[in-house]
């Protein structure tokens, strides 16, 4: 009988706390920024959903019967994901995440960049905590996660570059989403399999599942970014449109709109970001 999802979540959070504990008083605020971003500080305001690490522990449990040995791998993936989010909030100038001010808006951009860098470094230390595995499996997992990190950065580059363009097709969008979101979900599922088995068919199947799950998650997130309330998402409402982001609904609209409607859509997206509120509202009407 496997553990409950709540037990998986609690175990992942405990592993992350162990990595971010610091006895030296002068450095506690440094790790405090990371714990705050993760929603693991004393005044917990709700962190992320932990989808990637729990996917990792669930897959490992399904293959071996016990999720515990994979906890450092799950923590590494979650810390890697969140280092990109701390930097992403700076790049997008997002003031809120999970119903709380973002790290940069509380402590300033320089400290937030450094906290993100620190979280990336700690994610590498998490990999070093993997014990009881053949060394080649740990090395394969480390390589998998590092490649996924590069892909996430490539996807972020494409996503930012799309903001100034109106020729983003759904094909280009999917290539971006596969890197920005699909890669880390794929690494979570395949990474668990890499640690659990040498069977290439199992590893390959789980990699494809993780990639598909990640792209579906991104498409759903794109819908929320346009139509969900700030109360539901914990972010500024319609911020994706304000920033001219070419999310899936926008890419589909540019492909499907004809004649005058397409011209109108392009004209509404023409001003530099941030787009005026009236433009954003009209764009949303067209998308709907």
Lookup: tokens for 194: 């890499």
In a domain, 207, yes or no: no
Q: Report the SS3 class of residue 86.
A: helix
In a domain, 267, yes or no: no
Q: What is the CATH number of the domain that holds 32?
A: 1.10.600.10
In a domain, 286, yes or no: no
In a domain, 89, yes or no: yes
pLDDT digit string (tens) for 8-48? 999 999 999 999 998 899 999 999 999 999 999 976 655 78
In a domain, 288, yes or no: no
In a domain, 225, yes or no: no
Task: Give residue 100's domain range.
Answer: 1-132
Q: Are 144 and 38 in contact (CB under 8 A)?
A: no
Tell whether the model's pLDDT for residue 51 goes beyond 60.
yes
pLDDT digit string (tens) for 57-115? 999 999 999 999 999 999 999 999 999 999 999 998 889 998 899 999 999 999 999 99
Q: What's the confidence (pLDDT) of residue 23?
A: 84
Q: What's the confidence (pLDDT) of residue 2?
A: 72
In a domain, 60, yes or no: yes
Average pLDDT over residues 173-190: 97
Q: Which position has the higher pLDDT, 231 or 154? A: 154
Question: What single string gives the DSSP state of each residue in 160-177?
Answer: HHHTT-S---HHHHHHHH
Q: What's the confidence (pLDDT) of residue 234?
A: 72
User: pTM of the entire structure?
Assistant: 0.93
Lookup: tokens for 57: 């522990």
* Alpha-carbon gap, residue 109 to 106, rounded angstroms: 9
* Alpha-carbon gap, residue 179 to 159, rounded angstroms: 10
Average pLDDT over residues 265-274: 93
pLDDT band at 1 (very low <50, low <70, confident <90, very high): very low
pLDDT digit string (tens) for 157-174? 999 999 988 889 999 999
Question: What single string gives the DSSP state of each residue in 214-239?
Answer: HHHHHHHHHHHHHHS-HHHHSS-TTH
* Alpha-carbon gap, residue 67 to 59, rounded angstroms: 8
Tell whether the model's pLDDT for residue 258 goes beyond 90.
yes
What φ, ψ does residue 89 adopt, rounded to 5°? -60, -35
Tell whether the model's pLDDT for residue 124 goes beyond 50.
yes
* Alpha-carbon gap, residue 183 to 149, rounded angstroms: 8
97 forms beta bridges with: 100
Q: What's the confidence (pLDDT) of residue 134?
A: 97
The total of structural domains in the chain comes to 1
In a domain, 204, yes or no: no
pLDDT band at 233 (very low <50, low <70, confident <90, very high): confident
255-278 in b/e burial notation, b at 16+ Cβ within 10 A? eebeeeebeebeebbeeeeebeee
What φ, ψ does residue 100 adopt, rounded to 5°? -135, 155
Q: What's the confidence (pLDDT) of residue 64?
A: 97
Q: Report the SS3 class of residue 77.
A: helix
């Amino acid at each position: 009988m496997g553990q409950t999802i709540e037990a998986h979540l609690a175990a992942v959070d405990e592993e992350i706390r162990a990595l971010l504990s610091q006895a030296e008083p002068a450095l506690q605020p440094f790790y405090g920024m990371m714990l705050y971003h993760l929603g693991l500080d004393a005044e917990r305001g709700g962190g992320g959903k932990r989808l990637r690490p729990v996917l990792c522990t669930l897959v490992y449990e399904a293959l071996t019967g016990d999720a515990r040995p994979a906890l450092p791998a799950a923590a590494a993936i979650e810390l890697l994901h969140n280092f990109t989010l701390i930097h992403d909030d700076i790049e997008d100038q997002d003031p809120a995440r999970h119903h709380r001010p973002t790290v940069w808006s509380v402590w300033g951009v320089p400290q937030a960049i450094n906290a993100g860098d620190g979280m990336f470094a700690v994610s590498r230390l998490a990999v070093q905590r993997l014990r009881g595995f053949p060394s080649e499996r740990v090395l394969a997992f480390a390589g998998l996660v590092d490649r996924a990190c590069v892909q996430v950065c490539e996807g972020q580059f494409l996503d930012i570059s799309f903001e100034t363009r109106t020729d983003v097709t759904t094909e280009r969008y999917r290539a971006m989403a596969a890197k920005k979101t699909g890669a880390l979900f794929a690494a979570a599922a395949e990474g668990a399999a890499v640690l659990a088995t040498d069977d290439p068919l199992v590893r390959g199947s789980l990699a494809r599942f993780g990639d598909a799950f990640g792209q579906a998650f991104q498409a759903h997130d794109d819908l929320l970014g346009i139509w969900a309330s700030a109360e539901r998402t914990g972010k500024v409402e319609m911020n994706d449109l304000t920033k001219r982001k070419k999310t899936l609904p926008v890419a589909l609209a540019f492909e499907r709109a004809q004649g005058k409607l397409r011209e109108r859509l392009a004209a509404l997206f023409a001003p530099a970001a941030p787009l005026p509120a009236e433009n954003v509202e009209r764009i949303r009407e067209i998308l709907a």
